[in-house]
A and B are shown apart, each in its own frame.
Chain A
Amino acid sequence: MSSPNQSSRPQNDNPYDIATGEFDKGVTSGRKLFGKVMTGLVMLCVAIALLPLASILFMLLKNGLSRLLQDFPSVFTELPPPPLVDGGGFRNAIMGTLLTCLIGALISVPVGVLTAIYTVEFGQGNKLSQFVRFCTNVLSGVPSIIAGLFAYGVVVVLMGTFSAIAGGVALSVLMAPIIIRTAEEGLKSIPREVRQGLVGIGATNFQGVTNVILPAALPFIATGVTLALARAAGETAPLLFTALFNQFDARSLREPIATLSVLIYNYAIAPYKNQNELAWAAALIVVLLILTVSILARSLTSRKVY
């Protein structure tokens, strides 16, 4: 360990002098000052890191809440207004966000949970489960806009139209890795003894997994699903060219549909004050939704069996 003052230590032949004055004092004040400065610096870091969050939450409340209260409940029940028209709401976008997230979950939850069951229960570190782990990691790093382009190239081109289904497919690509990881964690948390017990009474893997292991891992899986939903609810880029946007209610899953996140994007960059305000109100709702769900996810994990 090199201390900045080590070089200035005087040569001393008397071993008993080592513990005395000069060696200790001269060093300590400098070292203490260094420590104080660094402690101050990291505290400043924390303050700087928290500042944007505080600012975002404050602005959301300031700009979003006023609009929500002023137009309650019409923001939730009306359709988005055309430019230069006052009032309006985003009921279609709320529906769209819920629908696309639901479709995303319907695809990614079964796929994610069954994949995790393979890697933990059957594969146990074999080649295929290592491959799955690798793919999951790569998939979780795929930029969200590329998930959108993928769903465009596959679903939109095939169906010939933008749709809630295409949006859901794009979101499912982003949700699946989250669900696989948390489900794996949940399955791994179940003690080996329980699996042995299942084998001991002659249960098939299917019987053991469905009756005992999945129920015990459920809190983890629920956490994964809520985290994935929280992520999906805020995603915009994958929906731009899949769900697109719709000024009106979508009448079926096979036509373009509005979502809160795309509405925020469209209306935040629009030059109209009313639309900007609606964007803030929508952002407040999305953030509240996501924060509630994230906190819910944490409380679910604390209910685990093992």
Chain B
Amino acid sequence: MTSPTISNQETLIESSQKFHAPRLIDRIFYWLTVLLSVGIGAVLVWITYSLLSIAFPAIATFNLGFLFSQVWNPVQDLYGALPQIYGTIVSSIIALLFAVPLGVGVAVFLSEDFLPRRILTPIAFVIELLAAIPSVVYGMWGIFVFVPFILPLLQGIHNALGWIPFFSTPPSTRQMFATALVLAIMILPTIIAISRDSLISLPPQLRQGAYGLGATRWETIMQVLLPAGLSGIIGSVMLALGRALGETMAAAMLIGNANRVNVSLFAPASTISALIANQFGEASGLQRSALFYQALILMILTLIVNMLAEVIVSRFQQVE
């Protein structure tokens, strides 16, 4: 009998101390993975640092007054972010107002057995495909198809309800409200996918128990399943909000880049990312710095929203 590797005379310590290439490779491999794991965190710090360092002149010049100023004047080098902050938040909230009921409705439909599974699964798949369509394509679709389609309707709303400040201007071809509707379409798949997961993963006993009490399907959904899946749904809404806040292309193409706050939703407006996309190419000096300052604000906004989403979603996973 020939032993393939170990001569029996060699003690464990001797063979442990002897040079052994696989052992060295293994150590290198381990430290390489550690290095790259730390690197992921470092990239995050690096991103923040590179934003901060370029934004610094603007931060030093305008301080926190930047957040409340409506001026954007490259000639006099005076900048503020209020119209963009307002536009970013308001367009995202309007998008949520439309996307949340719609998305939760679809999620309920896809998690219940209204139709056989072999029909529901393709529908869920097709809706996931919506998420794969690039935002620049949504933007183009908005310009050429959606806005021309929705404009007469908005004109009607303006004619009938023009006394309400939100609808007080005639609908412009580039405006906040239509942009928000396109954003709503874009974040729909996020809300549907995560809400559906949270509804499907509910324990079957919940449903059986409610049915056992004589509740109808819809009483079960409204009073048992939706409350039980609520944290997952809220998490999905927060993630969708994060996406809407940071969305660039659709906003840049549709919102109209007006550097002032207008209460009317039918008027042109601006968002942080749209402003950056539109102005970065020609900007230099303090203007570029001010754009990075805006980016920093966006980063902080999305960071807060995403972390909240994280906390909420992880809580729903623990319950599961």
Contacts and interface: CB of A to CB of B under 8 A. Distances in A.
Tell me what chain B mostly uses at the interface: helix, strand, loop, or mixed: helix
B258 interface: no
Nearest to A286: B134
A59 B145 CA distance: 8
Contacts of A129: 37
Contacts of B219: 1, 3, 31
B130 interface: yes
Contacts of A39: 114, 218
A136 B45 CA distance: 13
Contacts of A207: 22, 26
A182 to B, nearest CB: 15
Interface in A48-86: 48-50, 52-53, 55-56, 59-60, 63
A122 B216 contact: no
B204 interface: no
Contacts of A56: 133, 137-138, 141, 145
A132 interface: yes
Tell me what chain A mostly uses at the interface: helix, strand, loop, or mixed: helix
Interface of A: 1-3, 31-32, 34-35, 38-39, 41-46, 48-50, 52-53, 55-56, 59-60, 63, 110-111, 114-115, 117-119, 121-123, 128-129, 131-132, 134-139, 141-147, 149-150, 153-154, 173, 176, 180, 204-207, 209, 230-231, 233-237, 240-241, 261, 264-265, 268-269, 276, 279-280, 283, 286-287, 290-291, 294
25 contacts: A1-B210, A45-B106, A46-B110, A49-B106, A49-B192, A55-B146, A59-B145, A110-B36, A111-B40, A141-B303, A141-B306, A146-B298, A147-B47, A153-B51, A153-B53, A153-B292, A204-B23, A206-B30, A230-B132, A234-B134, A236-B136, A240-B277, A241-B280, A268-B139, A280-B140
Given A52-B146, A207-B22, 9 more contacts: A35-B217, A50-B127, A56-B137, A139-B40, A141-B246, A153-B50, A237-B273, A237-B277, A268-B144
